[in-house]
Structure 1
């Protein structure tokens, strides 16, 4: 259980680093707003919402992990949940299906966007290419590792 406790502590540190990077990038971008191209208020509101949502989510996860570190029973439940084979299989099946569905949606969106806007078409084509690269990279890695 000590090894798992160390893993949770490492996760907390990494999540804190992500939080700091998120806050710093938001602050820097806010101060440089005048030097950046003009953008509609909708985009500014969306970006602010994403930053705030990410920070709230990170704070929730960090507080959950911190509470588990203070309570041995909660830590044991978290360990069991993360190492449960049924849960792992469900997550695996859901991830594979989600990736396939996303690839199909992005491919169809790319075809449709090609009729209307070249910039959107190239953007979606890039997203689809990146999804395929990530999928093939992870597939190759796990075929060699397992």
Structure 2
């Protein structure tokens, strides 16, 4: 184990709730690729990774299980989804509008919807950072990619 290596080397979404639409699965694949390429992930009180992260939904709660690259247990965090419900609902609504706009709207209309989509996504990312404060240190870009994965899981569930 490389001491002080605070990053994710693997991310797995729980598959027990099935697959989603091709658009959602594409979002998942891109978010995982981007997340592994560049992230800061620091479980508080642990000497260092890299880490493997399993993300699941269990009884309407977000479960983050962290292991070392070799598979050693680090920690599990269970978060209520209540603070995310409105944000995720709004995000799904604006994503549907965005995908529809891509087919029928002008570039300026698409850009306006995309700005709204990014704003809601940022709000979800900040909420995730706040909920993980004192448990896992993450930067904003890592929070954005993780929030995308939370949305994908929620969409499937």
Larger radius of gyration: 1
The TM-score, its normalising length taken from structure 1, stands at 0.29
Give the structure with the higher percent strand.
2
Greater helix share, structure number: 1
Return the structure number with greater relative CO, CA threshold 8 A, min gap 6: 2
